[in-house]
């Protein structure tokens, strides 16, 4: 037991790799492709159960404020280590990753005919990389995992995707690669800056942060801003922030269901997580300076994503554009630099993972039956598939942000955070924080428009297309894999405190780091403020 708890994060990363090896071995020796999914499912479920130890063990922190911290030397020459650890920012994201994996694998039960071995191996490697991203505290290791997650997804889209899969896969690859290369440059610069100023080169996040805090490492001139932008570009593309979003609808639409679910639920979160983990604490001054740009782009994303989602003829594209809108909320929440906004943003990351993940699953169900996702092909489905329709409506309501479902808590906290923010200018005639919130708030209206309009056309009315008359309602497997998501939607909407309380300390630390650096020019918010 001690071994597990001391190396839990390493185990979480490596276990899926063992799973991939096991899958390959199983294929080599038994040649029973139909059993592969069971092997994969088994590994992901065990990994999920292991990750629950994280939840049970939250509370006992290391000196650096991290849980389950471990530090294994890797390349001594450049002083890079496998430094892992979770805190309030990453804990639930790791659990979200391990939680969404078995569900995505269950969703592929009958969908993968082409080369299943490779498919499952890629899924498992992807899991490994994603967990690595969330727990790495070494910048170089983080970068490697960040890039490594690209490759399985590239193949998942490129091989098992829809008709236009090559275009989508390449576009996805180019966009994300472009940003992350700049981030690599920034990471290496940090190494040398640290080397120059302190005599020790390091990629270690905790060390660099500490050097910054005590003033051993100082960014002269525009260095901080340039580094901030290099990191931010990589993350902004991943989020994706308007106007870097156009890879997303293509990637989502062409990806197989499992790919879309993972993309929406976890991969996009890497961007927002990276901003919160690295950009804010490392470059607080630049973060504040550039916040207005991100807030503006976030607001544009909210409105733009919603308007474009409204006119999509394809259900999956519609959901993809809705992601742009939702992630816009996360961005403005984070850049409000208030406890409410940042807590809300973190919570909304989980919510978006669950709700949008569920929407992609649901779209996948109907695609397996009809092999089309065009809204105009459907109509009156509620008559034929009542259970499906019910679940879809609940999920959509969660995405719309109906109170007592998860989306509301996150959106509300984000908006109140933006409203009370001190990051945008306040003049005698206009408080731009208020105005930003009001504009972002219109996203709440548009969300209802595009989702309900789609529901109206797909589910209500009479069955107009003969092909839909004989569709079967959801199977027990399908209900079973969507049910945990539904349960979470309600639980997280009604009782969000376990999640919010866990992240409170970490979020406060980041928020204070960003706002304290202001040298008193920007008031710090909190209960004391009146």
**Minimum CB distance to other proteins, residue 407 (Å):** 11
Q: Which helix (H) or strand (E) holds 86?
A: strand 80-86
**Minimum CB distance to other proteins, residue 520 (Å):** 20
Rg over CA atoms, the chain: 22
Query: How many angstroms separate the CA atoms of 19 and 26, rounded?
Result: 10
Residue closer to other proteins (CB basis): 362 or 382: 382
Residue closer to other proteins (CB basis): 30 or 495: 495
DSSP code, position 241:
P
**Minimum CB distance to other proteins, residue 345 (Å):** 12
**Minimum CB distance to other proteins, residue 176 (Å):** 10
Residue closer to other proteins (CB basis): 19 or 333: 333
Query: How many angstroms separate the CA atoms of 263 and 356, rounded?
Result: 10
**Minimum CB distance to other proteins, residue 452 (Å):** 5
Sign, Cα dihedral of 277, 283, 284, 289: negative
10 Å Cβ neighbour count for 463?
A: 17
β-partners of residue 71 are 83
Quick check: helix, strand or coil at residue 24? helix
Residue closer to other proteins (CB basis): 14 or 449: 449
**Minimum CB distance to other proteins, residue 209 (Å):** 23
Burial classification of residue 86, based on how many CB atoms lie within 10 Å of its CB (0-12 exposed, 13-18 middle, 19 or more buried)? buried
Residue closer to other proteins (CB basis): 268 or 414: 414
**Minimum CB distance to other proteins, residue 151 (Å):** 11
Comparing CA positions, the residue from 107, 14, 225, 202 lying closest to residue 481 is 107
CA atoms within 13 A on the CB side of 530: 1
In Å, how far are 97, 148, 175, 177, 261 from 151, measured between CA atoms? 17, 6, 13, 10, 17
CB 486 within 8 A of CB 345: no
Residue closer to other proteins (CB basis): 215 or 527: 527
Residue closer to other proteins (CB basis): 288 or 317: 317
Residue closer to other proteins (CB basis): 40 or 323: 323
What the block records as the tokens of 124 is 């498992």
CB 355 within 8 A of CB 493: no
Residue closer to other proteins (CB basis): 53 or 177: 177
Phi, psi of 428 (to 5 degrees): -65, -30
Residue 421: left if φ>0, alpha if ψ -120 to 50, beta else—which one?
beta
Phi, psi of 58 (to 5 degrees): -65, 145
Q: Which helix (H) or strand (E) holds 71?
A: strand 67-75
**Minimum CB distance to other proteins, residue 210 (Å):** 24
Residue closer to other proteins (CB basis): 289 or 457: 457
CB 89 within 8 A of CB 346: yes
**Minimum CB distance to other proteins, residue 524 (Å):** 11
**Minimum CB distance to other proteins, residue 89 (Å):** 15
CB 151 within 8 A of CB 126: no
Query: How many angstroms separate the CA atoms of 149 and 125, rounded?
Result: 8
Residue closer to other proteins (CB basis): 280 or 459: 459
Query: How many angstroms separate the CA atoms of 239 and 231, rounded?
Result: 13
**Minimum CB distance to other proteins, residue 475 (Å):** 18
Query: How many angstroms separate the CA atoms of 495 and 246, rounded?
Result: 35
């Amino acid at each position: 037991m001690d071994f597990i708890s001391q190396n839990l994060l390493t185990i979480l990363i490596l276990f899926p790799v063992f799973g991939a090896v096991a899958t390959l071995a199983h294929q080599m020796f038994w040649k029973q492709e139909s059993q592969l999914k069971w092997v994969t499912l088994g590994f992901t479920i065990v990994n999920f159960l292991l990750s629950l130890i994280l939840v049970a063990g939250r509370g006992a922190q290391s000196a650096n404020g991290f849980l389950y911290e471990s530090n294994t030397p890797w390349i001594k020459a450049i002083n890079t280590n496998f430094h892992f650890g979770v805190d309030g920012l990453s804990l639930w994201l790791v659990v979200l990753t391990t939680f969404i994996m078995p569900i995505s694998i269950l969703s592929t039960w009958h969908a993968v005919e082409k080369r299943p071995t490779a498919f499952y191996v890629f899924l498992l490697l992807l899991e490994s990389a994603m967990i690595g991203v969330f727990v790495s505290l070494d910048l170089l290791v983080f970068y490697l995992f960040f890039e490594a997650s690209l490759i399985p997804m590239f193949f998942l889209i490129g091989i098992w995707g829809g008709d236009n899969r090559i275009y989508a896969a390449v576009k996805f690859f180019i966009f994300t690669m472009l940003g992350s290369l700049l981030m690599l440059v920034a990471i290496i610069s940090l190494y040398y800056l640290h080397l120059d100023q302190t005599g020790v080169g390091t990629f270690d996040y905790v060390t660099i942060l500490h050097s910054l805090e005590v003033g051993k490492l100082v960014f002269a001139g525009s260095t901080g801003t340039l580094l901030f932008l290099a990191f931010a570009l990589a993350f902004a593309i991943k989020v994706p922030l308007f106007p870097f979003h156009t890879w997303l609808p293509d990637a989502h639409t062409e990806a197989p269901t499992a790919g879309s679910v993972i993309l929406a639920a976890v991969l996009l979160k890497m961007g927002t997580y990276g901003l919160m983990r690295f950009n804010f604490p490392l470059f607080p001054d630049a973060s504040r300076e550039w916040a207005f740009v991100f807030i503006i782009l976030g607001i544009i994303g909210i409105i733009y994503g919603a308007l474009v989602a409204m006119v999509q003829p394809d259900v999956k594209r519609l959901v993809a554009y809705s992601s742009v809108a939702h992630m816009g909320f996360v961005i403005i929440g984070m850049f409000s630099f208030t406890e409410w906004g940042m807590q809300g943003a973190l919570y909304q990351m989980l919510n978006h993972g669950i709700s949008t993940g569920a929407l992609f699953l649901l779209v996948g169900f109907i695609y397996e039956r009809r092999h089309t996702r065009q809204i105009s092909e459907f109509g009156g489905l509620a008559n034929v598939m009542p259970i499906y329709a019910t679940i879809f409506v609940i999920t959509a309501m969660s995405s719309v942000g109906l109170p007592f479902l998860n989306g509301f808590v996150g959106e509300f906290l984000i908006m109140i955070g933006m409203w009370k923010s001190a990051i945008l200018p306040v003049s005698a005639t206009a408080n731009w924080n208020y105005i930003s919130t009001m504009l972002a708030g219109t996203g709440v209206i548009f969300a209802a428009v595009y989702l309900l309009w789609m529901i109206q056309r797909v589910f209500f009315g009479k069955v107009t297309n003969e092909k839909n008359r004989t569709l079967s309602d959801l199977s027990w497997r399908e209900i079973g894999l969507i049910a945990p998501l539904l349960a979470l939607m309600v639980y997280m909407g009604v009782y969000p405190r376990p999640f919010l309380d866990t992240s409170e300390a970490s979020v406060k630390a980041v928020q204070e780091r960003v706002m304290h650096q202001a040298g008193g020019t920007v008031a710090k918010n909190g209960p004391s403020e009146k």
